[in-house]
Every structure is written in structure tokens, then in C-alpha cells.
Structure 1
Amino acid sequence: MNIVEAVKTLSDAEVISRKLIKNARGSTLYSDIWRFGINTALRISDLLSLTFDDVSGNKLTIKEGKTGKTRSIDLNSGAKAIIEARRKANPHHTYLFEVESNRAKGKPVSRISVANAFKAVGDEMSIQLGTHSMRKTRGWLMHSAGESIEMICKVLNHSSPAVTMAYIGLTQAEIDATYHEFVF
């Protein structure tokens, strides 16, 4: 399994979003997936299976495919804007992120397509970018904003804070820096 990174700044996350649109020749599909994934912290398998019926209103309640746990997400303004824009642009779609090609009409975008789009942008930016980067980025940005590891653990639906710390990519250099930040 390839190791993928969290994007560590909001400005880099925005650059990735713009590059995903550029690389898709103006299509917002992969950029919307990127943004929605960061806004909701969903695993890619759960994110790609969402239908428009699943994302009506202000809350999203899903049963996670990987863990079987039920998860409730309060949709923020960014997530709701993506839903509305996609609904308006694709009124005939069933899935929030549905394929437009004739070969796979009526099916959600594949995980492989998303991984390839993300990898291409990651290669341009020298970042190990993959489908888990959205969740990792959400966790890292929350951590950078001062949110507790325990809260991030709950948001990501991890079993323990130790899992969350490893997941978001807390590095030894960042730990070492704390010895110089807090001097008595």
C-alpha cells in the first residue's frame, strides 16, 4: 500500500483543487470530490457511493463501509455548495459524483480514476497525494488550528488518538520543534 500525505496548508489544498480542474480540462468533478472529501472527512469508498438522496438537508448519516459504524455529519457551507452546484449541473444523476462517459453511465466515479487524478496533481507538486489525502488533510488542518487529537479522532471515527496521530502524519521533526517552543 502506498503511503499518502496530508496536505499541510489550506493554500496548498486550494492549489490542488485548481490543478484538478485544469488537468480535467475544466471539469470540476475531481476538484469537487477533493473539496467534499476535506469538508466531510469521509473515506473514499463512502464518499463515492453517496447519492443525491443521501445528501439532502443539513445532515448526512451513513453507515461506514469499512467499520460498519454509523456516522452523522453536519454538512458545512462548503459541502452544501458542492451538492447544490452538482445537483444543478447534473439533474439526471443519481450519484453525487457520477460518471458522464457512455461506458459507465449511471455509475459513480471509480476509486481508481480519483486516485489517478490525485496522483497526477501530487506528482506536479511533489506530494504523495492519494484518495486518503482528503481525510488526512482534514485531520491535519484541524490539528494545526489547535483542535484536540481526541476531537480529531472522533471526527475521523478512529478507534484511538494514537491511530489519529499516526494517520495525520505527525512527524518526529514536529515533535522535536515543541522542545524549542516551550522553554521554562
Structure 2
Amino acid sequence: MIEVEAVKTKAEIATVEHLLRKHKGDVYGDIWRIGVNLALRISDLLAIEYGALDTERRELRLVEGKTGKARTLRLNDTVLKLVERRRQEHPTDRYLFQTHANRSKAMQKPIGRVTVAKAFKEIGDILRVRLGTHSMRKSRGWAMYSDGVPVEMVSKVLNHSSPAVTMTYLGITKAEVMQTYEDYEL
């Protein structure tokens, strides 16, 4: 499995979204933007049904596919605006990211993760970044961590089993930890 990277600045996150919209279409830009904000695994993100979204309470309720854990996430303004726009554009859709391909017209199903992965890889190639569907989660985690959010909280948001898993996930190395002893002489 190819390891993908986090997109580490807000400007880079916006660039990825812009390029996805320009080269692949709005749905891929929406997947990226909502994915970065919710930090869900791609299978959980693509499986979101409108019925699971409570826009009045600003919540998304789901059971994670990988862990089987029930979760409730807060929907921020960015996500709410995108959800409302998608709902207005596709009022009969069941899924937030539903495919509208001709061969799928008869049944409602979400866009496939392989299709999204290919779109993300193409944009990553343009930017010379190893971009994949997991880059959304990593980017969210990295943004929080680099803004000073404690690794324990980042771990909780990503629903990792421990902060040690999150440190590995974010690419925080032993050398970086050791460097803090040089950087913070008190």
C-alpha cells in the first residue's frame, strides 16, 4: 500500500480543492472539503446518507465501518453549506455523494472509493504530492496538531486507539521528539 501524505497548510488544502473542482468536477471538490473537515475514513464519508445528517442539531450520526463504533460528529458551517448546496442540487439523492453515472441510474449508490482515489492521485501528481483518500484525515490531524491541539485530542478526533498511534499516523518521529529537548531549554 502506498503511503499518502497530509496536505499541511490551509493554502495547500484550498489548492487541492480548487484543482479537484477544475479538473474533476465539483463533487470531488466537495468530497475533499467535507472530508478534510470531518476527518472520516473514505468508506464512511462516501456512505453518508442524508438521513444521517441532522442539520438542525448540526450533527452527523454514523457507525464507523472499520471499528464498528457509533459516533456523533459536529457539522461546522463549511460542511453545512456544502451539504445544503448538494441537497438543493440533487433533492432526490439518498447519499451525500451519490453517483449519477448512466449505468447507475436505476439504483442509488455512492461514488466508489476507487474512483475518488484516482481523482485524488491525478491532482497529487500535478502537485507532486502523494495524495490519496486518506490525505483528508491526515491533513485534518496535521492541521490540528500544528495549531497546538494536544495529540490526545487529535487522537480522539481521528478515533485512534492511542496517542502513540496518532503520532505515527502524523509522521511524528523519534528524532522530532528528541529535537524538542534542544528547542525548549528552560
TM-score, normalising length from structure 1?
0.94
Return the alpha-carbon distance in structure 2 between the equivalents of residues 113 and 55 of structure 1.
Answer: 24
Paired positions, count = 182
The CA deviation at 1:34 is: 0.5
**Matching of residue 145 in structure 1 with residue 133 in structure 2:** no
Which residue in 1 is equivalent to 2:8?
8
Return the alpha-carbon distance in structure 2 between the equivalents of residues 174 and 29 of structure 1.
Answer: 37
Return the alpha-carbon distance in structure 2 between the equivalents of residues 134 and 168 of structure 1.
Answer: 12
Partner of 2:54, secondary structure, is: coil
The CA deviation at 1:175 is: 4.0
1:34-54, CA deviations, whole angstroms, 9 ceiling, x for partnerless residues? Answer: 011111111100110111111
Contact 1:52 1:94 in 2 (8 A): yes
Unaligned runs of 5+ residues in structure 1 are none
The CA deviation at 1:125 is: 0.7
RMSD of aligned residue pairs (Cα, Å): 1.4
Contact 1:8 1:141 in 2 (8 A): yes
Aligned amino acid, residue 62 of structure 2: I
Partner of 1:103, secondary structure, is: helix
The CA deviation at 1:172 is: 5.6
Unaligned runs of 5+ residues in structure 2 are none
Contact 1:5 1:169 in 2 (8 A): no
The CA deviation at 1:100 is: 1.4
> What percent of counterpart residues are identical?
49
Aligned partner (choices 36, 39, 50) of residue 38 of structure 1:
36
Which residue in 1 is equivalent to 2:93?
93
The CA deviation at 1:68 is: 0.5
1:72-151 to 2 correspondences below 5 Å: 72-105=72-105, 106-151=108-153
1:2–1:150 distance in 2 versus 1, CA, 3 Å: same
Return the alpha-carbon distance in structure 2 between the equivalents of residues 71 and 117 of structure 1.
Answer: 28
Contact 1:38 1:134 in 2 (8 A): yes
Which residue in 2 is equivalent to 1:60?
60
Return the alpha-carbon distance in structure 1 between the equivalents of residues 159 and 149 of structure 2.
Answer: 15
